Homo-oligomer: A and B are copies of this chain.
Amino acid sequence: MNETGALPKAGLFSLLHAADAAQAHVESRLAAVGLSLPKLAALHALSRAGESLPLGQLAEHLSCVKSNITQLVDRLEADGLVSREPDPNDRRSRLAVMTPTGRRAFEEGMRIQQQTEGELFAGLTPDEAQQLAVLIQKLEQRAR
């Protein structure tokens, strides 16, 4: 009946909904090793940085506010995955340090995350994944 309608509308809501679903999907798998995506991301940042980082830098790596990191590290510490240690260079600063338990959880978590992500994207051809990356990036650029 027309050329412009009758097709699946892109829209903000479908994007947000899909992202939510993907996140929930991964987190449900990650729960098997007691990790959430934010916790895994924090351990990932610590791992890349050589097992430890000042809290402020951790906040930068995770693109969030410092008070959030205070609380996230509280929970990671309660889980025994990270410990807070004094920064020898600056007495105001505290270092988040990955514990051996944390490293093991991180490795298992990364394995699960990558496998789940693989399954999620297995429905897309390499070409489609590439297109998606480009479109996503354009959108994000506009939102900045």
Contact = CB atoms under 8 A, between A and B. Distances in A.
Contacts of A78: none
Count of this chain's copies in the oligomeric assembly: 2
Interface residues of A, number: 48
A34 B4 CA distance: 33
Contacts of A4: 126
A128 B135 contact: yes
Interface stretch (A22-30, A65-73, A88-96): A22-30
Task: Report, nearest first, the 5 A-B pairs whose CB atoms are least far apart.
Answer: A19-B19, A10-B133, A18-B140, A25-B143, A21-B143
Given A14-B137, A25-B144, 12 more contacts: A7-B130, A8-B130, A8-B134, A11-B117, A12-B22, A16-B37, A17-B140, A21-B140, A24-B143, A121-B142, A123-B142, A128-B138
